[in-house]
């Protein structure tokens, strides 16, 4: 009997002797090692040349070089933007993300570089509009076809219409010169102010009496800072003491110091009058200065916010350095709207309407309504803590949910003259509230 032994079996038999079990083994074939990918040259930068940090692009390579030849060949092909597989079978190079975007099909205008071809409409005018029925309820469901906008008597073509609510940048201005009984009601209602705001709103707090004071700059509408600042901004109010020129104190001072009255309010003569009579000290209510201070901070807020000044006051004005015309022009230039909750005597039926009339050389009993009419805001006269709290929610909702109209004015931005605005709706018994006009702003240029 013959056995066929392989080379490995024969070696095992010689080494380990007869105890080795013989088995047929199939010789294994070694797997071939694949070749490494062929190195690829880096893709040349647009415009060719080399880039040196701090010096920019250097001169382009010579026309006879391999990089210049490959770049020129790739640019001459109509399908140069598409990826191709190399001839050696290696994977194609993937272009960077910025080269995967769609290429602009239309060329830029002649004489202007491509990167400077921007078109910004600086003559766009935005007009928020509030529409109410005969009972004072907000009217919803109107379409852009229902509105007609006239600028300086000329009908405008609407290019924008929206009913979406917008976030508010609202500056609260609180009157601290109110009588103590009305000031107590305002203090008790301040806790409801934050309930009228959303997390997307921002708010600032200002107060005034004899001068304006900023308690906080703009912070989140639902931040923990706002209720703390409102609690710190509370005041006891004022109790004006009108001196009596008659009686024992008017005819002579019961208590005198060096020949003068101990109380200067009872001293006759000097700055208060003459030796025969004395003048009553005048009240100070710097409402104009307070609205101007709030408007200056509000003008720095982003344009996507609806800029609102919310005044809680009786509307009295006396002693401000800024005039009403100056403040209104600043408001109309910076697209700021004034809303108000009237309290005190101006909130009473009948008396509030009479307070709107101004007597020459006297204090303004209610100038607040003039701000709301000129800027497109609204006024809510309330008495009592419950009524004041409801007015916060009412006015904030009204300012947030408005019809927003937009058009492109034909007048150049360099013309800084006043431009009146009138909004009409072809429906009966509707009250349309919008700003009366505006001044073009240098920020729009």
The total of other beta-carbon atoms located within 10 Å of residue 292's CB is 20
Give the model's pLDDT for residue 366: 82
Q: Quick one: which of 378, 320, 26, 354 has its CA closest to 177?
A: 320
Residue recorded with tokens 């005198």: 256
What is the predicted pLDDT for the residue at 333? 92
Q: Distance between CA 144 and CA 133 in Å, rounded?
A: 18
Q: What residues are paired with 208 via a beta bridge?
A: 175, 212
List phi, psi (to 5°) of 270: 70, -140
pTM: 0.65
| pLDDT for residue 382 | 85
pLDDT given for residue 14 in this prediction: 47
Q: What is the per-residue pLDDT for 346?
A: 74
Q: 326-330: long-range contacts (C-beta < 8 A, 24 or more apart)? A: 326/288, 326/292, 327/288, 327/291, 327/292, 327/295, 327/371, 328/370, 328/371, 328/374, 328/375, 329/439, 330/292, 330/295, 330/296, 330/299
Q: Residue 21 has what pLDDT?
A: 44
Nearest-angstrom CA–CA distance, 413 and 415: 5
Distance CA 128, CA 402 (A): 6
The predicted structure's pLDDT at residue 123: 82
Distances (CA, A) of 439 to 217, 249, 418: 26, 55, 5
Q: What is the pLDDT along the chain (445 residues), one digit of tens a residue?
A: 444 555 555 444 444 444 444 444 455 556 666 666 777 766 665 544 555 554 545 555 554 444 444 444 444 444 444 444 444 444 445 555 444 444 434 444 434 344 444 444 468 899 999 999 988 888 988 999 999 999 999 999 999 999 988 899 999 999 998 988 899 999 999 989 999 999 999 999 999 988 899 999 999 999 999 999 999 999 888 876 555 444 444 445 656 666 666 666 555 554 445 555 555 567 788 999 999 999 999 999 988 899 999 999 988 888 899 999 999 999 999 999 999 999 987 777 666 666 666 666 566 778 888 999 999 999 888 888 999 999 998 999 899 889 999 999 888 877 888 999 999 998 888 999 999 999 987 665 5
- State both tokens at 351: 């008396």
The C-alpha R_g of the chain, in whole angstroms, comes to: 40
- What domains can be seen in the chain, in order of their start residue? 119-165+402-445 (2.60.40), 166-237+284-400 (3.40.50.410)
pLDDT for 22: 43
pLDDT at position 357: 66
Tokens 């710190």 label which residue?
232
Give 364's strand partners: 317
Beta bridge partners of 173: 206, 311
Collapsed DSSP state (helix, strand, coil) of residue 89:
coil
Predicted local distance difference test score (pLDDT) of residue 259: 62
pLDDT for residue 50: 54
* Nearest-angstrom CA–CA distance, 311 and 287: 9
pLDDT of residue 2: 47
């Amino acid at each position: 009997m013959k056995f066929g032994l392989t080379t490995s079996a024969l070696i095992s038999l010689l080494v380990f002797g007869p105890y080795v079990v013989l088995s047929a083994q199939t010789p294994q074939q070694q797997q071939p090692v694949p070749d490494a990918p062929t190195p690829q040259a880096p893709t040349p930068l647009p415009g060719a040349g080399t880039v040196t940090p701090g010096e920019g692009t250097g001169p382009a390579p010579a026309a006879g070089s391999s990089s210049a030849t490959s770049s020129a060949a790739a640019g001459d092909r109509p399908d140069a933007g598409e990826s191709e597989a190399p001839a050696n079978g290696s994977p194609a190079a993937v272009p960077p993300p910025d080269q995967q975007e769609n290429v602009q099909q239309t060329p830029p205008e002649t004489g202007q570089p491509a990167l400077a071809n921007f078109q910004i409409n600086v003559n766009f005018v935005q007009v928020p509009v509030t529409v109410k029925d005969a009972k004072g309820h907000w009217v919803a469901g109107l379409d852009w076809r229902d509105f007609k906008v006239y600028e300086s008597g000329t009908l405008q073509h609407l290019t924008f219409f929206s009913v979406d609510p917008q976030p508010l940048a609202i500056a609260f201005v609180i009157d601290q010169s109110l009588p103590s009984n009305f000031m107590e009601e305002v203090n008790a209602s301040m806790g409801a102010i934050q309930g009228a705001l959303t997390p997307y709103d921002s708010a600032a707090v200002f107060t005034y009496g004899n001068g304006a004071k900023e308690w906080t700059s703009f912070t989140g509408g639902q931040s923990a800072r706002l209720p703390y600042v409102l609690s710190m901004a509370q005041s006891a109010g004022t109790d004006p003491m009108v001196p009596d020129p008659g009686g024992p104190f008017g005819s002579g001072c019961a208590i005198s110091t060096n020949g003068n009255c101990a109380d200067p309010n009872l001293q006759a003569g000097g700055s208060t009058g003459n030796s025969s009579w004395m003048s009553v000290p005048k009240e100070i209510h710097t409402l104009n200065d307070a609205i101007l201070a709030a408007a200056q901070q509000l003008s720095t807020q982003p344009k996507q916010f609806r800029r609102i000044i919310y005044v809680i006051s009786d509307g009295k004005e006396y002693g401000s350095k800024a005039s009403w015309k100056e403040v209104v022009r600043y408001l109309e230039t910076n697209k700021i709207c004034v809303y108000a909750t009237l309290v005190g005597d101006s909130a009473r039926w009948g008396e509030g309407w009479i307070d709107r009339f101004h007597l020459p050389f006297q204090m303004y009993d209610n100038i607040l309504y003039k701000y709301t009419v000129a800027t497109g805001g609204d006024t809510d006269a309330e008495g009592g803590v419950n009524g004041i709290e409801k007015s916060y929610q009412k006015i904030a909702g009204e300012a947030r949910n408005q019809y927003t109209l937009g058009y492109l004015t034909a007048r150049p931005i360099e013309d800084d003259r006043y431009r009146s605005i009138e909004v009409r709706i072809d429906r009966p018994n509707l009250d349309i509230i919008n700003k009366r006009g505006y001044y073009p702003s240098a920020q729009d240029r």
